[in-house]
Structure 1
Amino acid sequence: MVKVELRLSVRDLVPADLEHCGWSGSEQHLAGVARQLERARLGEVDYLAVCPPTGIPVAKGGVDYRAEEGAGTLWQLAVHPALQSCGIGTLLVAAAERRIRERGLWRAELGVEECNPRARALYERLGYVAFDRRPDSWDETAPDGSSRRYETVCTLMRKHLS
């Protein structure tokens, strides 16, 4: 086994990054991320990128300050599939929590799909506690161009930040 260490930094995601984020979702998803970057410019959200020295994102995610009163809501968290379980998600969440505290807020919330136990285990390890569940859905475009409605159930989790 070869051990490889990556030097990673966290910065704001910028529009030019989106061409390198195809691993995180469909073109429709990336168009939605582009719209969220406009909200970031307005200060309503933070959208972060985790990058090696090349500057190309290997993880991304947002913090919405308008979704829940008094909290930063983490959403659209994604790590490049080839780099999952390497601690990058932990780094991304920690950076998001720092941004939340910098806004003077002391609570982070997120929703995790119930069909994603690995992500839920990460959030629990990081101190998030389930407090509710709710259905969620969105439209997706398949590779063949057809559209479908994706429906899921999310466990809502929160963490009080110190």
Structure 2
Amino acid sequence: MVDVMVKLSVRDLVRADLASCGWAGSERHLANVAAQLDRARIGEVDYLAVCAAADIPVAKGGIDYQVKEGVGTLWQLAVHPALQSCGIGTFLVEAAELRISGRGLLQAELGVEEDNPRARALYERLGYVAYDRQPDAWEEQAPDGSLRRRETMCTLMRKELA
């Protein structure tokens, strides 16, 4: 086993990044991310990219400031599947929390699908506490290109920021 150290940076996600983010979801998902970048231009959201030395995103995620007043809501968090469990998700969430704090807000929230215990464990390690449950649903693109409705239950979690 060899340990490799990789320097990570975080910056705003830009449209040009979407071509290299196929690992994050379907074409439909990436079209939604592109729409979120329009919202980022007017300050409603921040959309972050975590990059390694080549400046190609290996993780991405958004912070929505319109969901609940005074709160930054993290959503659409994803780490390249080949790089999960390497600390990149922690780096992404901590960068998002800095953005939220930078706006003078003291609380971060997120919803985690109940069938994703690894993500929930990460958020708990980072200080997020469950406070409610909520159903969620969206249309997703199947491999054959058809659309199907995905329904899930999410645990809502929050963290007080220093």
TM-score (norm 1): 0.99
Q: How does 1:54-73 map to 2 (within 5 A)?
A: 54-73=54-73
1:96 maps to amino acid = A
**Partner Cα distance (2:90, 2:68) in 1:** 22
Which residue of structure 2 aligns with residue 126 of structure 1? 126
1:103: Cα distance to partner? 0.4
**Partner Cα distance (1:36, 1:77) in 2:** 13
Residue correspondences, number: 162
**Partner Cα distance (1:4, 1:68) in 2:** 40
1:87: Cα distance to partner? 0.3
1:27 maps to amino acid = E
Which residue of structure 2 aligns with residue 108 of structure 1? 108
Structure 1 spans left out of the alignment, 5+ residues? none
Structure 2 residue 19 is matched with structure 1 residue 6: no
Where in structure 1 do 4 or more consecutive aligned residues deviate above 4 Å? none
1:141: Cα distance to partner? 1.1
Structure 1 counterpart SS, 2:70: coil
1:64: Cα distance to partner? 0.3
1:34: Cα distance to partner? 0.1
What's the C-alpha RMSD, in Å, of the aligned pairs?
0.4
1:135: Cα distance to partner? 0.4
Task: Report Cα offsets for 1:5-63 as digits up to 9, x if no partner.
Answer: 11110000000000000000000000000000000001000000000010100000000
**Partner Cα distance (1:158, 1:44) in 2:** 20
Q: How does 1:22-33 map to 2 (within 5 A)?
A: 22-33=22-33
Which residue of structure 2 aligns with residue 47 of structure 1? 47
**Partner Cα distance (2:141, 2:9) in 1:** 32
Structure 2 spans left out of the alignment, 5+ residues? none
TM-score (norm 2): 0.99
**Partner Cα distance (2:145, 2:15) in 1:** 24
